[in-house]
Amino acid sequence: MSSNLSSLYLRPEDDGLLMRQSQFYAIYKLNALRTYLWIVNRAMHTKWPNRIYIDLQAGPGKNQIRNHGIALGSPLIAVTAPYPTRHLLLNELSQPLHAALQTRLTAAPGDLNIQLRSSDANVVVDEFVNMVREFRSSALCVAFLDPEGAELHWSTVRKLAELPRMDLIINVPTGGIRRMLGDIQRTQAALDR
């Protein structure tokens, strides 16, 4: 791999890898995450050297925003933030998206401890919670939860919320939930979860 291609992996530019196709509103969500991580990392990097970023549905790392261009996705925002979190627990179930993210993460700074999994978010959360517990309350955690519909179970949110010093950033996908309401009989169990 050439260093020119590798340097594209962490910039909001086309690097030839798969990108998530997103609507314009994704920019607001990603900018909110970027701002939050900038504030937390800047304020806490000396007090909390063990900071952990968790993303259960990380995607490919880049988004093609319709009629707007390319934006870094949540995991690459975390990797490129000032005073980045040193421990990243990332998960992406889709194999094509996982492969694109895995390739992009090869350009991440070498001092980051990145654990990348490909599993159901509601299953991998147990492994991630156990990893956080190994820090014995000496870590500050931020979890970004960004489901597309109702695939993220409330029990998963609860497991993360029970960890000490955990900040949860949760995007509630109202559009996906509204689409499910058309067939309430079929989707009631998913909505209840």
Digit-coded pLDDT (tens) for 17-51: 999 999 888 999 999 999 999 999 999 999 988 99
| Domain segments of the chain as ranges | 3-192
The amino acid occupying position 103 is T
Q: Is the pLDDT of residue 149 over 90?
A: no
Q: Which residue has the tokens 């806490």?
A: 44
Q: pTM for this structure?
A: 0.89
Handedness of CA 32, 37, 38, 40 (dihedral sign): positive
Q: Are 77 and 33 in contact (CB under 8 A)?
A: yes
pLDDT confidence tier of residue 1, bands split at 50, 70 and 90: very low
Class of 3-192 per CATH?
alpha beta
Q: Is the pLDDT of residue 3 over 60?
A: no
Q: How far is CA 146 from CA 29, 78, 112, 138, 172, in A?
A: 9, 14, 23, 26, 7
What pLDDT, on the 0 to 100 scale, is given for residue 25? 86
153-171 per-position pLDDT tens digit: 999 999 999 999 999 999 8
Residue 52 CB coordination number (10 Å): 24
Which helix or strand (DSSP H or E) is residue 74 part of?
A: helix 74-80
